[in-house]
Amino acid sequence: MTGAGPARLAAAVFLDRDGVLNRVVPRDGGAGSPRTAAELELVPEAGAAVRRLRAAGYLTLVVTNQPDLARGLLCPQAHATIMERVRAAAQPDDMAACPHDDGHGCRCRKPRPGLLEELAGRWGVDLERSFMVGDGWKDMEAGRAAGCRTILVRTDYNTGVTADAVAGDISAAADLILGRAWEPRN
């Protein structure tokens, strides 16, 4: 009796939200997340890049730290509105946010891989065939910890952060994923 072999798990591109799909907000001498819908500025090429990745067969999954929720600096309604606007513009397959601050010690807050692992389980993702695209060291570390290849969107605030590859923006990151022959991992 023959049967279908085991189903092959999907490959995914995990995307950080702030600094990848939308612009960061200059705040207190650094880069912050939008706290109101008025502060949200989507990256113009984000939707097209996500559509190209999806058309190539990748799941697109957004993973974002949102500690301003725990700090009381971002109200849940504004967070929901921002997430919905990003979802409508970029049209990823799914989105997940960690609402905790560093001191909570949760497993979902990047640099821990919990959000990636949660979505991978939900969507049947092969993490070793997947990518993490982000703009910070926490994104790169979460991607490495989950077993993904990492692509850093280079900015003026992340010099010194290392990744498997570096891109200038989400569109260039999609170009790298779609056009580069990635060596099998040992």
pLDDT in tens, 4-62: 555 678 999 999 999 999 999 999 888 899 999 999 999 999 999 999 999 999 999 99
Longest dimension (CA), the chain: 66
Domain membership of residue 114 as a residue range: 16-178
Residue 141 has pLDDT above 60, yes or no: yes
Q: Are 42 and 50 in contact (CB under 8 A)?
A: no
Residue 1 has pLDDT above 50, yes or no: no
Is 11 part of a structural domain of the chain?
A: no
Mean of the pLDDT values across residues 154-162? 94
User: Would you call 57 helix, strand, or coil by DSSP?
Assistant: coil
Is 157 part of a structural domain of the chain?
A: yes
Is 55 part of a structural domain of the chain?
A: yes
Active-site residue list = 16, 18
Structure tokens at 83: 């997430």
Is 170 part of a structural domain of the chain?
A: yes
pLDDT digits (tens, 9 = 90+) for 112-125: 999 999 999 999 99
* CATH classification at residue 66: 3.40.50.1000
Is 10 part of a structural domain of the chain?
A: no
Number of domains in the chain: 1
Mean of the pLDDT values across residues 70-95? 97
pLDDT digits (tens, 9 = 90+) for 60-74: 999 999 999 999 999
Is 104 part of a structural domain of the chain?
A: yes
Q: Please tell me the number of Cα atoms within 13 Å of 46 on its side-chain side.
A: 26
Q: Are 163 and 151 in contact (CB under 8 A)?
A: yes
Mean of the pLDDT values across residues 136-156? 97
Nearest-CA neighbor of 164 among 146, 176, 179, 178? 176
pLDDT score recorded for residue 45:
96
pLDDT digits (tens, 9 = 90+) for 88-110: 999 999 999 999 998 888 999 99
Q: Between residues 102 and 129, which one has the greater pLDDT?
A: 129
Confidence band for 3, pLDDT divided at 50, 70 and 90: low
